[in-house]
Structure formats: C-alpha cells, structure tokens
Amino acid sequence: MKFMKHRLIVIGFGNQGEWHYENIRDRIPEIEVVGAYDIRPERAEVIEKCGLKSFSSAEDAYACKEADIVLIATPNNFHKEYSISAMRAGKNVVCEKPVCMNTAELDEVLKVSEETGRIFTVHQNRRWDADYRVVKNIIEQNLIGKPYYIDSRLFGCKGLPGDWRSAKVSGGGMMYDWSVHLLDQMIDLIHSRPVSVFVDAVNVRFPEVDDCNKILVRFENGVSYQIVVDSWCYIGENRWHISGDDGTAVVPIWGGTEGKVVKANIKEIGWEEGFVFTANGRSSTMAPRPIENLKEFSPPVPELPKWEEFYKNFVAAVEGRAELAISHEENRLVMQVLDACFRSMESGKAEKVF
C-alpha cells in the first residue's frame, strides 16, 4: 500500500519520548522519526545512538523543514508552550497527556490550532487497553442493563518516581499521571454530562503532590463513577466493577480480557426464601439468591483495536481523510473534570464541573 511519508521530531527524549520513537519506528510505517531535542545535554548522545539528529533547542527542531509532525513528551507544565510554538512553526502536534495543566491552557492551544490550521491531538493511549474495550462492549451491548455504579481502579506499589513527577510546579502527582487516563476512558464511556466531582487524595511520600486519589463523579443520567488510583497498595482489587440494574460485571486484570457477568434469571424473589446468618444476627436483604436463580457467563471479547490506530488516525487527519479519534471536545471535557478535581482537593467538598 502506498502512503505519504510523514516525518516527526520528538521534543523531550526521556522514557516516554524514547518509547514513542521505538514504537513509531517499528509499528507505524507512515511516519519516520528524524530527530529529537531534550533539555538535558546528556540525552543528546542517546538521541544520536538511535540514529536521529540531536537538535540544540526546540526552536532549532521546529526549523527542520523536512519534519511536519512534532511529538511533545516533556514534563506536563511545558505542554502548552511547546505545542503552541510548534504549531506556529507550521508543525502538526501530538502531545502526551495530560494535554495541559488546566482548561484555560488547553483553550489557548486549541485557538492556535484553529488559527494555524495545524492538527493537534493528545496521546490518550489507554482507550486502546483491552480491559477497557471489554467493559465498553459490556455497556454498549446492554449486558447488565443500565449501569448505576462503575468502579475503575488501578493499583501499584512502587510509588511515584522522585523526579519531576513529584513536584507540583511541573504537574506531578497521580492525578496528572494516571487519573487523567481513567478520566478520559470515563468521558469516552459515559455519554452524559458530568455534574459534580468529589476527590479524596493523600500524600504518602511526596508532600507537594498526591500519591493516591479517589474520585467520585456523578452524571446527569444517574451514573456514579468512581476512579481509584493508588501507587502504594500491595493488595489490589478488580480493575473494573460495574453494577447495572440487570446484572453485575467484573474485569479483574489491567490489560486482560477475562471477566465475569452475573445476572438473575428470575427478577422477583420472595423475601422469605432465604436468610444469611452471622454471629450477631440474621438478614434477608443481604442473603444470596439461590444459585439456580442466577446466570453467570464470561463477557464477550470484542475485536480489539491496536494502538497503531492512534497514529494512523492522526496521519489520516493531517491528510484530511478523517476526523480525530480523540476530539477536542472530549479533551476539553476531561480537563474541565480535572479542574473540578483539583478544586475538590483544595476545598475538601464536592465541586460542580460547570
């Protein structure tokens, strides 16, 4: 298949920037990475060992006439500045998440995108995670009826690295690092207007930023969506737990496709048909249904899109053949919810999104 060859420059050649280079090189034939710039002088040698041109500054990189795409993979507080400069230099931009530090910054970036006619998008790669795709299919196929509680949880036990991710000024903390991914999944999944946000965030190791957070988002359609990100947890829970008015579903493993759906095959059941006994009393409301009244099955695994589709879609958008898979409206809504999260962290109360 013939295609137009695009050339890309990486701004910020750290772990994430180098990952993009390696995966574009190996998996995206439409794009050739031709150079990179990193503010740390010692990274120039790494860039050159990769066979890339090492630029002396971002401005030097933007002046490269053969490149039409710039990838921004710097600390979060530089995303706005580099994105705007690249577009004003005539480049299309892929920016790592979070797109910016807040909605106001994003609005500045989107205004320049419109003024220059350059394509701008955000690398929200977790929309392609297999576990998320299974959950999305469960809801779209109405396998458990209308969801009312959704728990999206991710656990690690290494904590934040002690680099820029631990500093507030650079956009450190798990809210910017991981919760923004799960918020993006949420916006893609729930087609309703978010109303309010409450956040419980804690500082375990680093005093300036959150190591762990719990986010509760309420939607106009009645869904309560909880996100839990814990970087100091040694015993995790199911990656997903979804309660619907016609069943319950779990998907236990991040990146996995296995799960379980349980539904009642008899909707109404007499209260007198069972009790649960404990040492301190009995209960009928919490008594389990008889096993013969339940139906259990594994959720179907949909056709799983590949991560390559992100860049292929971006190329198609640059060439005028497609709309962006991750829209500006979605990115803006994620940032509006994120802004409300930070307001809730400050106030200790639920905050309205709008």
Question: Across all residues in the chain, what is the average pLDDT?
Answer: 95
- The per-residue pLDDT for 279 is 75
Q: Structural domains in the chain?
A: 6-123 (3.40.50.720), 127-259+298-305+336-352 (3.30.360.10)
What is the value of pTM for the model shown?
A: 0.95
Instruction: Output the six-digit token pair for 321.
Output: 């053949």
Q: Which amino acid is at 77?
A: N
Give the mean model confidence (pLDDT) for residues 160-168: 88
User: Does residue 2 carry a pLDDT above 70?
Assistant: no
User: Does residue 3 carry a pLDDT above 80?
Assistant: no
How many CB atoms are closer than 10 A to CB 226?
Answer: 16
Determine the Cα–Cα distance for residues 33 and 286; give it in Å rounded to an integer: 59
Q: Give the residue with greater pLDDT, 287 vs 90.
A: 90
Residue the block writes with tokens 């940032």: 335
Give the mean model confidence (pLDDT) for residues 106-131: 98
User: Does residue 240 carry a pLDDT above 80?
Assistant: yes
Q: Are 36 and 321 in contact (CB under 8 A)?
A: no
Q: Are 231 and 237 in contact (CB under 8 A)?
A: no
In the chain, % helix, strand, coil (3-state, to 5) comes to: 35, 25, 40
Give the mean model confidence (pLDDT) for residues 110-117: 98
- The per-residue pLDDT for 272 is 59
Instruction: Output the six-digit token pair for 126.
Output: 């977790």
101: left (phi over 0), alpha (psi -120 to 50) or beta: alpha
pLDDT digits (tens, 9 = 90+) for 51-66: 999 999 999 999 999 9
User: Does residue 111 carry a pLDDT above 70?
Assistant: yes
pLDDT digits (tens, 9 = 90+) for 26-41: 999 999 999 999 999 9
